[in-house]
């Protein structure tokens, strides 16, 4: 089974909501499932992680760019009649090797 990822929903997110990965709308039941207070994505959503000294220096000097995968998850929801966005939620890989 390919890697999967999960994102914990913030406490203020209740009721119907919309999910976006890198600005692209996701469909419940196809792209993700809701399990308790988590969104479980059918694909792994890798994060770039910390930059090492040499990579940071190369970026700073303009020698090289960064092209590593770094997915962002945003959730649009209603809170008190106001449309709000929980942005920059961090996906965590799920280990399915059991």
Mean pLDDT of successive 10-residue segments in the chain (98 residues)?
84 92 95 95 73 66 65 91 91 74
Specify the pLDDT at position 77.
Answer: 96
User: pTM for the complete prediction?
Assistant: 0.75
Specify the pLDDT at position 83.
Answer: 94
Specify the pLDDT at position 14.
Answer: 85
Specify the pLDDT at position 6.
Answer: 93
CATH of 4-94, one of 2.60.40, 3.20.20, 3.30.110, 3.40.630: 2.60.40
Q: For the chain, what is the radius of gyration of the CA atoms?
A: 16
The span from the first CA to the last CA of the chain, in angstroms, equals 11
**Mind spelling out the 3-state secondary structure of 72-83?**
CEEEEEEECCEE
């Amino acid at each position: 089974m390919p890697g999967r990822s999960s994102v914990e929903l913030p406490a203020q997110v209740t009721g119907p909501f919309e999910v976006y990965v890198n600005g692209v709308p996701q469909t419940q039941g196809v792209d993700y499932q809701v399990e308790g207070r988590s969104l479980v994505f059918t694909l792994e959503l890798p994060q770039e992680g910390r930059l090492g000294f040499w990579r940071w220096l190369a970026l700073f000097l303009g020698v090289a760019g960064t092209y590593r995968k770094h997915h962002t998850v945003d959730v649009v929801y209603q809170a008190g009649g106001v449309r709000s966005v929980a942005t920059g939620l961090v996906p965590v890989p799920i280990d399915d090797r059991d």
